[in-house]
Amino acid sequence: MMKRDRPRIGLTIWRSLKLQCPACGRASILARPFNLKHQCDRCGVIFKREEGFFVGAIMANVVATEGFILVIYLACIMLTSLNERVMLTTLFVAGIIFPLAFYHHAWAFWLAMDHLIEGLSRQPGKL
């Protein structure tokens, strides 16, 4: 049985923030906006492992969006005297824009977590 090196948590998270491969950090995970590469150009790890793998990235985006909206809501309540209509409009706009802006980072975060927990494979169907 081959023992693999454990990835460093801080480095892996930093790479995900920069939208780089969580395994090597030398290539982008993006092919173009809203489209993830199938595998890393440099080290060959597979980003799109199997059907349904993307559900975790969607979940990360939804949770981050909910947290962001909650923070804005609490800030509006405690720091401003906005009327209800303006506050709801602000929250609605944030709820539309944030998940679009955070989409790539949600994918990167999900890949980083998968890399830290299971490791990313260089061969389809294998860890």
16-20, 25-29, 52-56: which has the minimum mean pLDDT? 52-56
Structure tokens at 12: 């892996």
- What is the pLDDT, as a whole number, of residue 5? 62
Question: pLDDT band at residue 80, thresholds of 50, 70 and 90?
Answer: confident
What would the mean pLDDT of 56-85 be, rounded to a whole number?
93
